[in-house]
């Protein structure tokens, strides 16, 4: 990461980089004629809130729209892109799906202004509504190649939590959980996998849980970036837990000025937790307690997903107050300082 890698010439005494060579005997950069030239400039960039936490990297954190501006030479960056989570459903409400997560390693970033759009979580819903999908988060300009793919980097908003016995969970980056009893298909589909075809970017998103009792019973958990929401397999009480998010080492919350979120993540680096469903009857440990998944998933009784982690919102049952809002997304870029 940082500046692009160089190569050594055949006599193993100089390193060639962008038409220049580093002479190890003198530590000077020389051109192909042997003349001493200034060394290439370091990789530099601006944008977002900047952090240099002392671990060898510089970080740029975006919690709202902005621009990541590469100002000197092309360099390789690690990029975390998290979409907004979907909100939970109300009345036998399923958990909201987490925002999709796209994580790139050694992504080549050319000298340019790269727009950043951070997706908000889906809004809470009242009465007997289904949830609302989260919004996409993107890095780069539409139609402009980035990271070895023909278009910008996209993380897709989380799917909505279903409601009652009529509405299943919605599709999204991670899918929303079904309400308390629905016909097939089961659970909201995960649409994040395969979104970014770059060889250096990995997509994370799992389906919502399904709930298929013969009537209104326990609803299912929302999908997380790291696992499916918990399924409900019959006329049983409780509320399905949300799927866990994905842990991204090197992107621990305190490195970019966010407070430790344990127990929302035991390692302080999970993103995209699915929302827990709304509780019908009594909780049943360990997987039907309506708990949000690691990575900011909102829990039972309409608790919101955590902002900047893209967590799905918690479902609600019975109605009487709002379901849980989805957590807003985030973009974090880092490179060697």
Q: Distance between CA atoms of 34 and 45, rounded to whole angstroms?
A: 31
Q: Are 175 and 168 in contact (CB under 8 A)?
A: no
Task: Tell me the DSSP string of 49-104.
Answer: EEE--SSSEEEEEESSSEEEEE-SS-EEEEEEEEPPPPPPPBSSPPPPPPPPEEEE
Sheet holding 45-46, edge to edge: 45-46, 66-70, 112-117, 137-139, 153-155
Q: Are 174 and 92 in contact (CB under 8 A)?
A: no
pTM greater than the 0.75 cutoff:
yes
Would you give the end-to-end CA distance of the chain in angstroms?
10
Contacts of 38 (CB under 8 A, 6+ apart): 29
3 state DSSP class of 114: strand
pLDDT at 30: 55
pLDDT at 181: 84
Tokens describing residue 182: 């629905």
Q: Is the dihedral of CA 114, 110, 249, 202 positive or negative?
A: positive
pLDDT at 16: 38
Q: Write the CA distances from 76 to 5, 38, 144, 146, 256, integer angstroms.
A: 9, 22, 17, 11, 19
- Per-residue pLDDT of the chain (337 residues), as tens digits, is 444 333 333 233 333 344 444 443 444 555 567 678 777 789 999 999 999 999 999 999 999 999 999 999 999 999 999 999 999 999 999 999 999 999 999 999 999 999 999 999 999 999 889 999 999 999 999 999 998 999 999 999 999 999 988 889 999 999 999 999 876 667 899 999 999 999 999 999 999 999 988 888 999 999 999 999 999 988 999 999 999 999 999 999 999 999 887 778 999 999 999 999 999 999 999 999 999 999 999 999 999 999 999 999 999 999 888 999 999 999 999 999 9
Under DSSP, the state recorded for 268 is S
């Amino acid at each position: 990461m940082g500046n692009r890698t160089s190569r050594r010439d055949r006599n193993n005494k100089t390193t060639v980089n962008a038409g220049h060579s580093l002479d190890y005997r003198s530590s000077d950069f020389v051109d192909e004629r042997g003349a001493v030239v200034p060394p290439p400039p370091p990789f530099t960039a601006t944008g977002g809130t900047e952090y240099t936490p002392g671990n060898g990297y510089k970080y740029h954190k975006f919690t709202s729209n902005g621009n990541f501006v590469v100002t000197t030479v092309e360099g390789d960056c690690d990029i975390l892109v998290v979409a907004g989570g979907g909100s939970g459903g109300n009345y036998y409400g399923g958990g909201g799906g987490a925002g999709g997560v796209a994580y790139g390693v050694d992504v080549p970033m050319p000298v340019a202004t790269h727009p950043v759009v951070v997706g908000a979580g889906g809004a809470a819903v009242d009465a007997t509504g289904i949830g609302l999908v989260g919004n996409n988060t993107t890095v780069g300009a539409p139609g402009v190649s980035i990271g070895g793919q023909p278009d910008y980097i996209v993380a897709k908003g989380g799917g909505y939590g279903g409601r009652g016995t009529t509405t299943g969970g919605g599709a999204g980056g991670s899918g929303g959980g079904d309400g308390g009893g629905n016909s097939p298909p089961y659970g909201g589909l995960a649409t994040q996998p395969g979104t970014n075809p770059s060889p250096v970017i990995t997509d994370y998103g799992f389906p919502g849980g399904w709930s298929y009792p013969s009537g209104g019973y326990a609803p299912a958990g929302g999908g997380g970036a790291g696992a499916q929401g918990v399924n409900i397999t019959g006329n049983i009480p409780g509320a399905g837990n949300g799927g866990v998010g994905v842990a991204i080492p090197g992107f621990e919350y305190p490195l970019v000025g966010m407070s430790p979120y344990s127990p929302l993540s035991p390692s302080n680096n999970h993103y995209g937790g699915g929302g827990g469903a709304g509780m019908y009857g009594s909780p049943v440990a360990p997987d039907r307690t309506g708990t949000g998944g690691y990575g900011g998933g909102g829990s039972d009784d309409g608790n919101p997903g955590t902002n900047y982690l893209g967590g799905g919102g918690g479902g609600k049952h019975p109605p009487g107050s709002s379901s849980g809002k989805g957590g807003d997304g985030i973009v974090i870029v880092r490179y060697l300082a």
